[in-house]
Structures are given as structure tokens and as C-alpha cells.
Structure 1
């Protein structure tokens, strides 16, 4: 059995074709093989795995909940405790590297919610964070923009960064046991850019893909730990097209390249990153090989792209020098995939 990848999806409650959390095996040749359904679940659209114990967390996007699942074998999961309420359109979950908590972000109502965990990975409490305030508030008589919390990123120093796609805002938080997330500071991005997902470079930069403007924003911390906007670059070497929306950003293991999925024109945009992660530039745009590249994962030498609307995962070999994807090596059918999360190698 090769390396395992968990798959999230949309099911019938979101007009999708999936059945629950799936599991794939990645062979030495990069090709993926479906190992079937790990557990049946309603629209587990994003997943995260506990760093120490055999537990996987999934948001139920339509069900407005978070649930833990325990591994009972190499490829099987079972519900671990009852579902916990989340917010409207809960779309992302991430786990603290020390296993103390998970964070759920909700596109529908903008909530950022922290759930504390016990030593077995079980959920013990739920604490909603302070609501976002639009830095571009139009004032009395102006049209209010809804908060759209979309993703969270665990920073190496223990803080948490979240995106608010609706308010063009990054929020940095500190975790306080029993209190949840406490605001540290804010970073305002250009209006109507729509920050969505993030990737942390070993050099300290956080790269943020913007859904609306199809760009990558680079933020770096100053000596006081305050993140500041350092640069905004176009994600695509050829420019955005009408109907495009950016989705995921991932970095190569060596940090030399960033990969951005663009839905609509169905492309993977490849950007070069300098040695310390302080700058990047678009290099090339590659057809993603399917329809609506919702998410992707970069492994050593391989890029796996989940296409929500064509119901498949397409695998590309990455050129070791240029970082560019070659012709696809495989297309694997799976219902409405929305997330690909590499499983821990040590298993259960």
C-alpha cells in the first residue's frame, strides 16, 4: 500500500455525487488508487488529521457541524463522539500541531470557532471567536459586506491566522486555554481581493491566494511579530479570465514553487518562489485536466488535483528542475471531491 490521502466531498445534500470520506493510495509512480469509502458522511467538504492520535476531523458544510472520526484500521474510520455545532457553511478545519484544539471557519456567517481537545483527540468544548469588522465599512447608508471566514493556518510560533474572504482581512490570533482565540492583530488586504487559503513558507512568508482578484498576497512578520503586506502578485502568467475564481494554494516541499488552482478556466498556475520565500513570480499556466479544480495537494514530485465538477482527481508529475507539471499520468474517478489531505505515515 502506498501513501494514503483522505478525500472530502460534496454529497446529495449539496447536490454532489460523493458518499463520505474516501481514501486513496498513492503509488511510487504517482498514480492514485481508490481504496473505497472510509466512512459515510454528509458533505465532509474539508478534513484535518490529528498530529498525534488516529483521529480525523471533518466539517459537514450543509449540516453546520464538526465531527471527529477515529481510525479503526489503515483505511477505515468510525464516528468518535457526537457532532458539534458549527456555523453556516462551515468550510474549513485545521488542527493545532500540538493537538490542543481545532479551528473551524464558516463561509456562511463568518464565524471562527475553536474546539478544545482532550488527549485522545476528542472534542471537549466550543468557543466562538470575536466577529470580524469590515475595514472598508462604507458607513451609514453604505452597503454592508458579509463576513466570510474561509480558512485557518497554524503558525510555527503557536498563533493562528484566519482569512475573511468577505472583509478582505487576515486575522492573527493567540490561543488561550479556556478562552479560545484572542485577537493579536489584523492585516488588511486590497479591497475586493477575497483572501481564501494560505500556505506557510519555511522562510517565514505566508502566501495567501485571493479568490476574487486571482492573485497571491505575501505577508511577512516584522521583528515584533506583526505581519505586514509585503507584495501582491498576479497568480496567472496569462492573466485572469471572465468567470475565474481562485481556490487552493500549495507549496512544493522544497519551497521553490507555488501552485494555485483557478476554477472557471480550469488551470493550475505555477509561480516561482525565491530562496527565502520573500518574493514570487508567475511562471506558467497549465490546464488542470478536469472541471473546477477545487483543491490540490503537492507531494514530492507529484501534484494531485481534485475536480469537484468532473468528479475526478488528476495526477501530474512535476519536473524536478522547472517545477512545471508534465502531462497527466492518471485520472481517477471519485464523486465531487473537495479536499485532499495526506494521511499521517505512522497510521494508527
Structure 2
């Protein structure tokens, strides 16, 4: 798997993008530095080509890297300008474009790709978002675009952690993203990351309130908030912040990382995706679990604060993580993506 990181320009201990391997027993091994880069804090894979896209969060750019051999990467084209604190990138399943979201200034930026996966153009949807308008009248709050999710119908969903919004966009080739509609979450919840259930429900974890919101599509194509539940049955602790959300392949469980109290919270999901229930929580095996990955019966957690990635075995019946089984040191890890 590829591991993004925070480097010295963000007071981190990483050096760039690192390659790790995990065997069938969950043992993690570092394969070394794939490529040096400044704070490649989030990564995305091209759907069909050996190309990785990385943000440079402090450098305000997005860049493509091409795989070389089993565990190396090389720069592929020039870096493209992004926005302030660009913290997330996601790739279109058809390989037409990538979308970067910017925590610092609220920009949502679309980059179109050619047949080789190279970036060819840049269009900001910032004109559709007033970065200084709050969703309620009691004061200005800055826009904090935090993540994007590609929907099966070709639309793009993004979170705005500052305005407590989930936005849905239409993609128009050569034009970029155009506003479709938005879903308002409770003030101060801070929608952060998203995972789509096989039922079509989108689950959104919230950074500030440490909850999970369920958003379902209505017959007219609009999404509506249907429920919000705490990520943990014991509630949020002082200093907690929601991080990543991931689903088990069968859709029965959701896993939410909680920084501060350093937990992975497990929620049971109904088959229809309409109901969520927090059922358990386990220590994350380190400090400040920024991101995690569920894959082939294992949970891998990137602990930014303790400079390590750890593995947990997932029980196929209960969904509960057992471990840590293995640990590997790596500087300030911020994201994990499978290198396939």
C-alpha cells in the first residue's frame, strides 16, 4: 500500500510517499520511500492506470506520479496549482478527472486527465461557494472543503466542514463542476469524510461532533439527511476529532477513527443502510489515528502522532478488530491506499 505523510514543511516527520506490504497474517513491512515529496497528505489512484495523484498540502499543488517497479514512483508531469491547505484528492471511476478539496479556502478544484492519466486542465468551482457566508445568521464561518466522493450517476459529492454542508455537483466536460444541490447538517457538526454503502446511502463522519450522518437519495435525485448517530456509544471526549470512515466489504459495519482519545469506533449497519448503531470501540494502537483502510479482512490504521501504521484482524462475524497484530514505523502517516 502507498502511505502519504506530513513532512518538515508541515512540522511532520515523513519524507514523502512510502510503500508498505502486508502479508496474509497482517505482518507489515516497509518497502522504503517510493518518492520524496512535500506533505503528500492525501493520495488517489487512477482507476485503470499505474498512476497516483497526491496533494502537496502546504505547497498548494496537486501532482501525478507514475509507478516504477513494485514499490517506486516517479513524477509524471508538472505540479498543478491548487488552493490553501489542499487536503484531499479523489479520482473519477472512468479516469476522466480528479477532484481536489481545499480546507484552507474552501475551493473545490477539478483537473481533467488525458488517456495516459496526465493532468491537462484545471477548473475551480470556488465561484459557486462564497467562502465567507455561513449557513446560519449568527456569524461568518469560513468554508472548509474537506473531501469528495464520486457517485455512480457521474455526480460528485463534497463536504464543507466549515459550513456544515454536503454539496452535490454535476460534471460538465470542459467546464468543470456545477452546483446541483446541497444537504445541510447540524451547525457545528463539521462533515469530514464519506463512504458509500451498497444500498446507496452515503455515510458522513463529522470531525467536530464525532457523529455519523446518513444521507439517502430521494426518487428525484436529491439527497436528504435521514439520521445522525454518535460514532461511539460512550460519546465524544474532550479534545476528540473525527477522522476517517470506512465500511466493511459486506456493508455490515462502519469504522470511524477518533483522534484525541485514539479510538476506532465500530458501528453496525442495517442491510438497507438506513440504520446505524455504535456497538464497540477499540484503541487505535497508537496516537492520532488520521486515516485507516479496511481490506481483505484486515484493518490498517495510520497513526500520525506515533509515526506508525498498525494492523488489526477483523472478525468476520462481529466485525470487531483484534490486535494490533503488527506495527511498522513510518513518519507522520496521513493516508493509506492499496497499491493496486
Contact 1:25-1:35 within 8 A present in 2 as well: yes
Shift of 1:40: 0.6
Residue equivalent to 1:191: 187
Residue equivalent to 2:265: 269
SS in 2 for 1:297: strand
Contact 1:110-1:131 within 8 A present in 2 as well: no
Within 5 A, what are the aligned runs for 1:3-152? 5-129=1-125, 130-133=127-130, 134=133, 136-138=135-137, 142-152=138-148
Contact 2:241-2:259 within 8 A present in 1 as well: yes
After TM superposition, what 4+ stretches of structure 1 lie above 4 angstroms from structure 2?
Answer: none
Name stretches of at least 5 consecutive residues in structure 1 with no aligned partner.
none
Q: Does 1:208 align with 2:204?
A: yes
> Can you list the C-alpha shifts for 1:253-296, whole angstroms capped at 9, x where unaligned?
11100000000000000000011211110001111110000000
> Can you list the C-alpha shifts for 1:151-196, whole angstroms capped at 9, x where unaligned?
0000111110000000000000111001100111110001000000
> Can you list the C-alpha shifts for 1:92-134, whole angstroms capped at 9, x where unaligned?
0000000000000000000000000000000000000034244
Distance in 1 (CA, whole Å) between partners of 2:6 and 2:323 is 28
2:256 corresponds to which of 257, 260, 277: 260
Residue equivalent to 1:279: 275
Shift of 1:75: 1.1
Residue equivalent to 2:166: 170
SS in 2 for 1:13: helix
SS in 2 for 1:44: coil
TM-score by length of 1: 0.95
2:316 corresponds to which of 320, 327, 343: 320
Contact 1:23-1:37 within 8 A present in 2 as well: yes
Q: Would you say how many aligned residue pairs link Structure 1 and Structure 2?
A: 337
TM-score by length of 2: 0.98
Residue equivalent to 1:220: 216
Distance in 2 (CA, whole Å) between partners of 1:62 and 1:211 is 21
SS in 1 for 2:41: strand
Contact 2:142-2:162 within 8 A present in 1 as well: yes
Contact 1:11-1:336 within 8 A present in 2 as well: yes
Distance in 2 (CA, whole Å) between partners of 1:227 and 1:132 is 19
Distance in 2 (CA, whole Å) between partners of 1:252 and 1:173 is 27
Distance in 2 (CA, whole Å) between partners of 1:330 and 1:54 is 28
Distance in 2 (CA, whole Å) between partners of 1:327 and 1:40 is 31
Residue equivalent to 1:340: 336
Shift of 1:135: 5.3
For the aligned residues, what is the CA RMSD? Answer: 0.9
